[in-house]
């Protein structure tokens, strides 16, 4: 697959980092529950190498995946890194002995997280680091993120972090963050069925800031899933391919980071960028978010 077909190109604002809009999320390279080693490390290495060979130049990861596991696999598979590769990581959590997700927002914990990412990836500086908000779990909740973001901005001034993003945040938190640092990307839960960030995506697009959705098929009701499956069948694609293609059509600032530990699924995900959706199909897909409203309130 040519790089030109991976959804087109996007440049993070105020940077020299330009990437194909279809990237790769490394979370699934760790073991079950994003904890421990993968069942097949050689297969994980092969997936990363094929992704980059196919033109993927944006990898999303974190040192709390595993912990340390995915970053060590990325380093094994790809180091020394191609000059065009952008690696985006995130901080704000650590893992307990049984895989628990433990908030880690003190200055010491955030600083240690940056150094852990640097060491395990084999880098002198991190391209982009996302601060994941401590407010809320799967959905953002209001609350100031000034203190931890100020720590990350200080690490940027030290030259350990080149650019800063935020994750799991509300529009108010995005505005607060932009008053503290130059924000190049926002990473939140968003998909065909979960459209809470529609207005935020449009605002960020006007500012040239990337929006990176996660959970592209998560949270669908049976009715919504059946609608998506019917559309996918009609265009000769899988539901995941249609969901990814819809995101690419949704706004030019949306970057995709679908993750998989399977070569076959990787190829399917990358092929989604070539899927053309007609205005009629897009209109049908846009109705999916509202399809379950009667179910919820009935």
CA distance linking residue 274 with residue 54, whole number of Å: 13
In a 13 Å sphere around the CA of 25, the CA atoms on its Cβ side amount to 19
What separation, in Å, do the N-terminal and C-terminal C-alpha atoms of the chain show? 46
H helix runs in the chain, sequence order:
41-53, 69-78, 107-121, 146-157, 171-178, 198-207, 222-235, 239-250, 263-271, 279-286, 288-291, 293-297
Decide if 65 is catalytic: yes
Strands 161-167 and 183-189: parallel
DSSP class of 214:
E
Partners of residue 93 on adjacent β-strands: 103
Catalytic residue among 65, 81, 190, 211: 65
CA distance linking residue 216 with residue 248, whole number of Å: 12
CA distance linking residue 146 with residue 33, whole number of Å: 30
* Contact of 88 with 128, CB cutoff 8 Å: yes
Partners of residue 166 on adjacent β-strands: 131, 186
Instruction: List, by residue number, the catalytic residues.
Output: 65
């Amino acid at each position: 697959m040519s790089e030109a077909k991976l959804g087109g190109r996007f440049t993070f604002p105020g940077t020299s980092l330009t990437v194909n809009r279809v990237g790769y999320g490394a979370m699934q390279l760790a073991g079950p529950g994003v904890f421990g080693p993968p069942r097949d490390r050689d297969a994980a290495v092969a997936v990363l190498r094929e992704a980059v060979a196919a033109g993927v130049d944006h990898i999303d990861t974190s040192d709390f995946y595993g912990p340390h596991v995915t970053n060590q696999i990325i380093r094994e598979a790809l180091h020394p890194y191609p000059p065009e590769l952008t690696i985006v990581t995130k901080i704000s959590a650590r893992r307990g002995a049984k895989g628990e997700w433990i908030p880690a927002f003190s200055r010491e914990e955030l600083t240690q997280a940056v150094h852990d990412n640097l060491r395990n990836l084999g880098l002198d500086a991190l391209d982009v680091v996302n601060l994941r908000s401590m407010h809320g779990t799967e959905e953002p909740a209001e609350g100031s993120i000034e203190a931890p973001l100020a720590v990350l901005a200080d690490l940027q001034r030290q030259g350990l972090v080149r650019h800063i993003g935020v994750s799991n945040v509300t529009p108010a938190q995005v505005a607060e963050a932009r008053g503290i640092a130059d924000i190049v990307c926002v990473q939140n839960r968003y998909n065909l069925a979960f459209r809470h960030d529609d207005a935020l995506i449009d605002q960020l697009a006007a500012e040239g800031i990337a929006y990176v959705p996660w959970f592209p098929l998560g949270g669908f009701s049976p009715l919504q899933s059946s609608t998506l499956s019917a559309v996918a069948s009609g265009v000769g694609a899988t539901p995941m391919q249609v969901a990814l293609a819809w995101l690419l059509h949704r706004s030019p600032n949306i970057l995709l980071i679908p993750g998989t530990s399977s070569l076959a699924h990787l190829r399917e995900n990358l092929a989604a960028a070539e899927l053309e959706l007609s205005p009629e199909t897009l209109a049908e897909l846009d109705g999916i978010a509202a399809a379950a409203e009667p179910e919820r309130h009935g």
